Structure 1
Amino acid sequence: MASFVERHGLWGDDQRASAAELVARIDAGEIETLRFAFPDQHGILRGKTLVAAEAKGALSDGVNLTTTLLLKDTSHKTVFPVFNSGGYQIPGMQGASDFTIVADPATFRVLPWTNKAGWVLCDAYSTDGQPSPVSSRQIMTRAVNELDALGYEFVAGLEVEFHVFRLDDPNMALTDSGQPGTPPTVSLLSHGAQYLTEMRYDRVDDVMELLRVQLQALGLPLRSLEVEFGPSQFELTFSPTVGLAPADLMILVRSAIKQICYRAGYHATFMCRPRIPNVMSSGWHLHQSLRSKATGQNAFVPQVEGADLSPLGLQYLAGLKTHACGAAALASPTINGYRRYRPFSLAPDRAVWARDNRAAMLRVLGGVGQSATRIENRVGEPTANPYLYMASQLYAGLDGIARQLDPGPSADVPYETQAELLPRSLGEALQCLRNDACLVEKLGPGFVDYFCHIKEAEIARFNLDVSEWEHREYFDLF
């Protein structure tokens, strides 16, 4: 009987060749377990680990999982009714039915921190072989294909900020269980306010070396390791990759860093603004450009001296600016992330662009004769689902190209320029997304409703809790 992959024509020649190579490595005894992982709606990896003998067949037959994995908020609570006939439901997911994840064999990696374990990234499909309508990787694939039809490739480089703490107590007592459970107790690896000092870097060299060795062994295009401004805050940068690869890279980077650190007695977090004294918010700066498939050349490089971008680059830039508020919920999808947007903080607070200015949301770099001409979007937080964030950038930029939009002049004083303010809360950002007709059409109206429903469930849970600020402010006064 034909496999799931064969029946539905899900692999090309390159993927079939990669799968054959992987099976050969399993047969040679190099791999004893294989992790089948797919990125969920939050950009969190989920899946199953199969022993080698079972993994070979699962490569082409797929792995079945329960659809409730696609219906959860960040506390892992299922926020859609699946066992009754009323309320908001997703077609095909009633009764906690199955869906199938299928490996993309070209993404195979050997995990260097564990014993003979492989890892492969998967796409989500309905059991009839159709791409899952809520699969974030499939959504970005559509955007990449739309760009491909115009003769261009998406090129992106990553700058990722995060925190690493010493893990003092994982808080695994019975009373610490919950949904979510009690977060770990941690302490600092370094004080803040010594941005890029060599002495500070040397004091955390053991952590940096741990990450460098393992990430390079994983085959990731690591460029630099840096001490950021905040206490126990770090930044890694990665060389540009093409198409889906930048999002695949970000997914693996986050998961790998957390696993590597935990095994060594550290706690790594990509939470934007942890609740620690003197904290600095972490951002994710996305450098992006388009490359001509015909010539292999950067399509953003201007040909006129003094110009910031090519005409195509300016149109793409205008699209990013036009849809900045609509895309905000995908760039910053947590309640916590909106604590970062404030003036004079190296984080943007309004939809403007500027030539090499870190206060602007969109920072343009490069110029005539420079192959690395690009747009740096500084709006994202490192928790963002990279497929949704990058898809929003592609769809926004493509709209700018289609309508030949003009981004207007550079904002030389971004925090003083009169411009549309970015959303100040997740709730406001979700409303902006719902109101952005272009993004709703491209992402799919059903997907936007689904995404907003999950995020609104998180906001509702947040609003049920009495915060420490409220208790301190009112308990004694009234």
Structure 2
Amino acid sequence: MSDWLTKIPQSARNYIEGRRLDEVECIVPDMAGVARGKAMPASKFARQESFYLPNSIFLQTITGEWADNPAGAFTEPDMILAPDFSTVSAAPWTADVTLQVIHDVFDQQGRPVPVAPRNVLKHIVGLYAERGWRPIVAPEMEFFLVARNIDPNQPIQPPMGRSGRRAAAKQAYSMSAVDEYGKVIDDIYDFAEAQGFEIDGILQEGGAGQVEINLAHGDPVRLADEIFFFKRLIREAALRHDCFATFMAKPIEGEPGSAMHIHHSVVDAQTGRNIFSDEKGRETPEFLQFIAGMQNHLPAAVALLAPYVNSYRRYVPDFAAPINLEWGRDNRTTGLRVPISGPDGRRVENRLAGMDCNPYLGIAASLATGYLGLVQGANPRAECLGDAYMSEDELPTNLGDALDEMVASQPMREVLGSEFVAVYEAVKRNEYKEFLQVISPWEREHLLLNV
């Protein structure tokens, strides 16, 4: 691999130009979207023939515990890591000159490990490719900047702005609100530029200290890689300015939650034409079939879009989170929104995913539902022309029910892979069981002396 620097993106070359490269971080996204792996001197990386990690990294829960292996014995065989040099990017917050590279994972027979989240997304994209289609996505990332919280027993507070006052809520789209923590935003821009990422826009959302970053549309795997990298760079930018960045779905009581809205379109792989529009610019049957697939199969995908107990605190009425499967044109109360666009840009926005989801799995699950609709040829319900917030609840309201829906759905098990579904369920059941053993302040306040 002595010539590996010739294979990396131009942005990474620009970052190390004229400087001595000290370290390379070899990383793999785990089930939660956390970066696992190892760092090594750049000289060793160039000499290394193979890289290894145990397959148990995909059985680790968000608390650091280990779920039981559904396949049986917990022997932790090594997986073979293969660097994807197209993902090489700077780590500009480190003291030394460092590059990071995402690795794909294979078993010892050279087969893609089916439970690896990046492989799951690649598999879904491959299903589209087999039909001559190429899916396109554009994600939106919402997150909160919050005051440092080193005691988990204390509620999370908004950050202190440059005015000396805490960030205020209900300031959506306010430029002054963004300026309150402008130094963090500046570092986010600088880090993103060093890493070669294109930000489509940054705006203030409705929560106190809540920010939204939009990314340009493109290939699902590349965009998931960028969100994976963005979460880390945003956290690092916040830490430089004495605050935290959090991607929890609902970090502050009484404030709206953070979503990862995903815009979807599908193009013909041969012609590049958006299959949601015909030659005259009209909506096609495929457009409606994609929506129908989402309506029919999203309940079985919620466990991937809302992967933690906290995720379901976002699914409450009157907090700007659509908790329905209605669809509508330019209607932000619907779970499935069709934004205003020309024929080439016709797309469907899934507004159900939380920002706490693993981007690979969230995008994979969302694309899987649309794919099933295209293959099954179903038709959606009538368009919702009013306030969809008034619709009946159709989604699971807790993690346990969401896992039940996922496991019970044969179509979702087939497209995602039965081995992946089994491992994902094992990890999430373990996390849910741990949570149920924790006694909350609400229980102590209202039950201790009253029941």
- Taking structure 1 as the reference length, the TM-score comes to 0.85
Distance 2:314 2:290 in 1: 25
- Alignment: residue pair count: 441
Residue 268 (structure 2) pairs with residue 278 (structure 1): no
The alignment partner of 1:94 has SS state of coil
Residue 41 (structure 2) pairs with residue 65 (structure 1): no
Per-residue displacement from partner, 1:29-67 (whole Å, max 9, x unpaired)?
642111111110111111111101111133xx3321233
Could you tell me whether the CA contact under 8 Å between 1:163 and 1:232 is conserved in 2? Answer: yes
With 409-418 and 330-339 compared, the bigger mean Cα shift is at 409-418
Aligned pairs for 1:188-227 (under 5 A) are 188-189=159-160, 190-227=167-204
Could you tell me how far 1:202 is from its partner in structure 2? 2.2
Per-residue displacement from partner, 1:412-451 (whole Å, max 9, x unpaired)?
2353676661111111111110111111111122221211
Aligned pairs for 1:118-197 (under 5 A) are 118-167=99-148, 170=150, 188-189=159-160, 190-197=167-174
The alignment partner of 2:60 has SS state of coil
Could you tell me how far 1:373 is from its partner in structure 2? 1.3
Return the structure number with greater relative CO, CA threshold 8 A, min gap 6.
2
Per-residue displacement from partner, 1:265-296 (whole Å, max 9, x unpaired)?
2211000111x353221111111111222222
Per-residue displacement from partner, 1:53-86 (whole Å, max 9, x unpaired)?
111133xx33212333221111011122xxxxxx
For 2:337, the aligned partner's letter is R
The alignment partner of 1:380 has SS state of coil
With 218-227 and 183-192 compared, the bigger mean Cα shift is at 183-192
Could you tell me whether the CA contact under 8 Å between 2:350 and 2:366 is conserved in 1? Answer: no
Distance 2:187 2:299 in 1: 38
Distance 1:24 1:106 in 2: 14
Residue 235 (structure 2) pairs with residue 254 (structure 1): no
Name the CA shift for 1:116/1:418 in 2 (closer, same or farther; >3 Å): closer
Name the CA shift for 1:27/1:52 in 2 (closer, same or farther; >3 Å): farther
The alignment partner of 1:379 has SS state of coil
1:412 to 373, 381, 385: 385
Could you tell me whether the CA contact under 8 Å between 1:40 and 1:70 is conserved in 2? Answer: yes
Residue 344 (structure 2) pairs with residue 354 (structure 1): no
Distance 1:194 1:416 in 2: 22
Could you tell me how far 1:304 is from its partner in structure 2? 5.7
The equivalent residue for 1:382 is 355
Distance 2:13 2:180 in 1: 43
Distance 1:31 1:283 in 2: 37
The equivalent residue for 1:111 is 91
The equivalent residue for 1:438 is 411
For 1:45, the aligned partner's letter is A
**Which structure 2 residue ranges, 5 or more long, are not aligned?**
161-166
Distance 2:355 2:83 in 1: 25
Could you tell me whether the CA contact under 8 Å between 1:166 and 1:187 is conserved in 2? Answer: yes
Name the CA shift for 1:29/1:215 in 2 (closer, same or farther; >3 Å): closer
Name the CA shift for 1:221/1:459 in 2 (closer, same or farther; >3 Å): same
Name the CA shift for 1:401/1:419 in 2 (closer, same or farther; >3 Å): farther
**Which structure 1 residue ranges, 5 or more long, are not aligned?**
4-14, 81-87, 172-180
Residue 230 (structure 2) pairs with residue 230 (structure 1): no
Aligned CA RMSD, in angstroms, stands at 2.7
For 2:204, the aligned partner's letter is V
